[in-house]
Each structure stands twice: as structure tokens, then as C-alpha cells.
Structure 1
Amino acid sequence: MTDASARLQALARELAAYVEHCKPRAILLTGSAATGAADLYSDLDLIVYHDELPPATAFGAARDAVGAVEAGVFAPPTNTEYPELYTWHGVQCQVAHQTIKAWEADLRTVLVDVDVESSLQKAISGLYEGIGLHGEDLIERWRDETRYPDELARAMVERHWRFLPIWHVQARLSTRDAALWSRQVLVESAFALLGVLAGLNRLWFTSFQFKRAREFVAQMTIAPSNLADRLEALVSLEIATAIAELEALVAETQALLVEHMPDFDASLRRGPGTREIPWKLAT
């Protein structure tokens, strides 16, 4: 654990003012402070769960009790969520208050409705990585009830197994001054690969504010070799070399799909190994 993480965890445990003034059912420390990877730029991220949201005066009383300054919100409040933001001991604190009913509805969106477009998988990941500071029994119940369903794994693969076949049209692009667009395709393809492999490995994934890629990839037991280095190469290598690396990664991931999800059609139109053939001038 980093020294910054230890400091943030100690600060988080001092926020008993929320229990006194807001009467929450549970409090969860999330983010890099919880995982032990925080640095001196990291925020203090808390999720506070309520039966019903308390009045704004209760949030203000809790902030006043600890001496918070520069208070505001980091998103528009609703009837079920109050996302407050303030500075405390020089640290930016993001405290997301949410009703239990709303949170459990969010869980159903992913687990039952199988919504793979939602960024809620990031919140579910935080549920597992976080540290319970209050109401640990409730947090543990959610963890026990939140298992990665096979339907979500399949939906993640189906959603992300699609690529613009840049290897197929590489010769054409080399004459089009398309460096920025090519790099964009490479980045989007990297996220698509991560989405597919997240499904295969039953890992919660969203591209929303995706950070700490190497830690994420390290959790995978089903993946192309040296995946983290090769994904990073897609944005650092010369474009032609990066495209060749992407083509190889797609081909290797395709083989993994055939092996580990054999009932899924992993074929690709203009897949790895195909090339566009230029037309010829009439003679």
C-alpha cells in the first residue's frame, strides 16, 4: 500500500460525522485509496447508502463537523442521489450519497437487464474492491448477491466483438494522410478487445474513465500473451507496426473465443489476414 493510500484510508475513517448527522445504512471507501494505489493527486471517494436521502442541511452539518471547505456537487443532485464535492485536509473528497433502492435498481440494470453500455460496471467493481467503513453486513450481502452472470459474459462478447478492419485497408490509408483517424481506430479496437476479454474472464469492465490497465489485465486468466504491453504498443508504435500488432491480437483473441465460448460465432468479415485489392485502370 502506498503512503498516500494509508493517509486517505485514515482520513476516511475519521468521517464518522456522516453516521452522526445523516444516519446512513452503509459507507464504502472506493477508488485508488481502497485498492492501495493512491498517490498525492488522488481523491477520497466515498459512497454513502441511505434508506432515504437526508435533507441538504444534514450534509452541510456533516461537512461543518469535519471542517470541509469549497463545498459543491460534481453532478446534478436527484431525488435518489446527492453527489457532493469538497476539500478536506487539502484532499478533494467526492462523496456520492445514494438510496439503497436506487443502488439495487442499478445492480439489476447490469445483472438482470444485461446492460453492457452502462458505466455501472465500474461501480460494481468498486463494490468488490472497496473498504466498508460502516454497515459492513449490508455491503457483504450485496457482494454475495452480485455474481457475474453467464448472460452478461455473452452479451459483453457480442457487443464488443466488432472492429473496423484497419489491417484490411492499411494500403489505402497509407496514401490518405489518416494518421489521427488510424490512431483513433487503434484505441477503439483496444477497448473492444478489453471488453471481449472482460466477458471471457467475467471481469467488470467499462471504458468510462478506464485507468490502471495493467492491474486490470493482470486479473485475466484467458488472454493473449503479454497483453498489457501489446495494448500499450497500439498507441506508442509507428502506425503500420501498431496495425500489425492489432491484427495479431484480434486473431489470437478469436482463437480464444473459439476455445472458451465455442457456441459463439467468432468469424469476422474482413478478418485478420485479409487485404483490400486495388482496382485496375482499363487497358
Structure 2
Amino acid sequence: MDHQTEWRLDAARALAEKLKGKAGIRAIIAGGSAARGYADVYSDLELIAYWDRVPGTEEKRVISGELGAVHRYPEIDHGHESALEIEGFPVDLWHKSITEEEDVLDRVMKDLSTDLVDNNVVDTVRTGIPLYGEELVQGWQKRTEPYPDELARRFLDEYLPHFHLRQVQFAAHRNNPAAFYNILSNIHSSLFIVLLALNGSYFPTYKWMFKRLHELPAKPENLEWRLREMYREAPTDAADRLREVLGETLELVEAQYPDLDIDFPDTAWTSHCRSGSLTVRLIRINRDKEMD
């Protein structure tokens, strides 16, 4: 455990000791970057208290006062209530009901929701470090251990069609960096979701994309370096590199889900990669043809 993570977890334990005697609090976890082992010098501390009921605003205000906390954001900010500062350090203190959390787990684990907010909640529970009410939290974590195969398939169905290269190629050749990097970033985000699904990993937010990619076993070789290079090299070269990465990712999809039959909407200038029953169409630009 590195220093940035260790001292944040020590602070979380001290705060949990002050919170766990409150009537109605059934469990407390440290979540976020510290729990995932991703903390750096810029990280705050995420602490989640689970209640047997929804606590009121006044009750939460009293707790914040007892912790010696001040609010980091003004009242008009949606994060005002949870974003605190305690002894000069930023702490996000969330208050949730047990019913609320179990409803989210049901939506993902039973109903197979691909909502990213719900899936982030599941990842937070899965990686959270119990500080109080260990039995309750560990029961939730046990539920999240078998990543549903059908959930992975739903993510693939939803995000693989985003692997389109036509518009990114247009933006690269038209010397339109604003459009190019916007499209590139969107495709990177979809690639991340696809690789999470392939590896049975829940969504940690895009903020931790590279940290989580580093942990995934099934991915194109040298992926993190290749993605970063796309923001440093010429847009036309980056578009070519993107095509290679997406093609390798689709090979991984076909190897793991040979029965998956995905047909991408066709436009001009396509190149077909067919292996087994998976048909994928990576949109290419024929540089000999006039651009739209």
C-alpha cells in the first residue's frame, strides 16, 4: 500500500469511529480512489455511511458539525451537502439508505442495467473497504463477485457500434482538432466500456480509465501507451493507430463471444473484418476519394 492510500485510509478509520455510534447507521465504507488503490496527491477521501433509513438534512448537518467539517461548495452546487473539508482535507461524506443501495445492486445484478451511474455504485461497493458493519458490506460484495455474462453482452451490444472511424477520419483530414479530439475521446470511452465488459469489471468512472485498464488482463498489447500517443501524434496517424486498436479489441470480442453477431451500420468506404460468426465493419477513409 502506498503512502497516499495508507494515510487516507487511516483518516477514514478515525472518522468511522466517530460515526458508527450514530443511531441508524448500519455500515460505513471507505470508497473511491483510496479503496481502489488509485489515490494520488490530488485525491479526496470518499466515505459512505449506510443507514436503515434516509437521514434528514438537519441530521446530516449536525453530523458534519460534530466532525468539525465545513462545506467546500456553496449551497447552489449539487455537491454542497456531501463535499466537506475536515482539518483542511477534502472529504466526500455520503449518506445512503440500505434499501437505496440494494435497489441499485438489484438493477445491475438482476435486471442487468447498463446505466453507468448504477454500475459505478456497484464498483464502489465491490472495491469498498468496510470500516463498520462488515457483515452487511461483505454480503453485498459477495453478490458482485460473479460478473453476469449477460450484462457483459448487453454492454457489448450497446457500445461496440460506437467503433466508427468515418467521422474521426474526416476530422483528421480536415485539420479540425476540436472535432477530432472530441470524437477520439468518445471512442476511447466506448472502448473502455467494452474492455471492462470483456474482463468482467464494473465501471470505476472515466476518471480512472488508465488505472483500471492497467489492471485488465484481456486488452490489446501496450494499450495505455497507444491511447496516450493518439493525443501526441498527427491526427491522421492517430486515426490509423485507433483503427489498429479497435481491430485488436474486436478480435478479443470474437474470441470470447464467438456466437455474438453484430452488424454495424454501413456508410461509404468500409473494410470488413470477418472471423467466425462475428462480422465487424471498421469505417475507413479511402484517401483517393474526395472527402464529403
Q: TM-score, normalised by structure 1?
A: 0.85
CA contact (8 A) 2:4 2:40 kept: yes
**Aligned sequence identity (%):** 26
Partner of 1:34: 35
In 1, the alpha carbon distance for the partners of 2:180 and 2:114 equals 26
SS in 2 for 1:20: coil
Match for 2:71: what amino acid?
Answer: E
In 2, the alpha carbon distance for the partners of 1:163 and 1:57 equals 45
Partner of 2:285: 275
Q: 1:6–1:264: structure 2 CA closer, same or farther, 3 Å change rule? A: same
Match for 2:285: what amino acid?
Answer: R
Partner of 1:80: none
Q: 1:175–1:251: structure 2 CA closer, same or farther, 3 Å change rule? A: closer
SS in 2 for 1:250: helix
For residue 225 of structure 1, report the CA deviation from its aligned partner: 0.9
Q: 1:272–1:259: structure 2 CA closer, same or farther, 3 Å change rule? A: same
Q: TM-score, normalised by structure 2?
A: 0.83
1:132-151 alignment, distance < 5 Å:
132-146=130-144, 147-151=146-150
Partner of 1:112: 110
Q: 1:88–1:122: structure 2 CA closer, same or farther, 3 Å change rule? A: same
In 1, the alpha carbon distance for the partners of 2:7 and 2:182 equals 38
Match for 2:208: what amino acid?
Answer: R
Partner of 1:199: 197
Q: 1:232–1:25: structure 2 CA closer, same or farther, 3 Å change rule? A: same
SS in 2 for 1:211: helix
For residue 95 of structure 1, report the CA deviation from its aligned partner: 1.0
- Residue segments in structure 2 that go unaligned for 5+ positions in a row: 271-280
Match for 1:178: what amino acid?
Answer: N
In 1, the alpha carbon distance for the partners of 2:14 and 2:171 equals 57
4+ runs of 1 displaced by more than 6 Å? 71-74
1:182-221 alignment, distance < 5 Å:
182-205=180-203, 208=205, 210-221=206-217
1:8 is aligned to 2:22: no
Q: 1:62–1:279: structure 2 CA closer, same or farther, 3 Å change rule? A: closer
CA contact (8 A) 2:171 2:179 kept: no
In 2, the alpha carbon distance for the partners of 1:113 and 1:12 equals 33
CA offset digits 1:33-65 (Å, max 9, x no partner): 223432332211011111102343433333333
Q: Which segment is superposed worse, 18-27 or 148-157?
A: 18-27
In 2, the alpha carbon distance for the partners of 1:71 and 1:273 equals 46
Q: 1:55–1:228: structure 2 CA closer, same or farther, 3 Å change rule? A: same
SS in 2 for 1:37: coil
For residue 273 of structure 1, report the CA deviation from its aligned partner: 7.3
For residue 235 of structure 1, report the CA deviation from its aligned partner: 2.1
SS in 2 for 1:237: coil
Q: 1:225–1:267: structure 2 CA closer, same or farther, 3 Å change rule? A: farther
In 1, the alpha carbon distance for the partners of 2:129 and 2:115 equals 26
1:47 is aligned to 2:43: no
CA contact (8 A) 2:69 2:85 kept: yes
In 1, the alpha carbon distance for the partners of 2:96 and 2:258 equals 41
Match for 2:129: what amino acid?
Answer: I
For residue 256 of structure 1, report the CA deviation from its aligned partner: 1.4
In 2, the alpha carbon distance for the partners of 1:211 and 1:118 equals 13
Partner of 2:230: 234
For residue 236 of structure 1, report the CA deviation from its aligned partner: 2.3
In 2, the alpha carbon distance for the partners of 1:202 and 1:99 equals 27
1:156-175 alignment, distance < 5 Å:
156-163=155-162, 165-166=164-165, 170=169, 172-173=170-171
Aligned Cα root-mean-square deviation (Å): 2.6
For residue 76 of structure 1, report the CA deviation from its aligned partner: 7.2
In 1, the alpha carbon distance for the partners of 2:283 and 2:41 equals 46
In 1, the alpha carbon distance for the partners of 2:262 and 2:84 equals 48
CA offset digits 1:55-104 (Å, max 9, x no partner): 43433333333322237776379xxxxx5232111111111111111111
CA contact (8 A) 1:169 1:275 kept: no
Partner of 2:18: 17
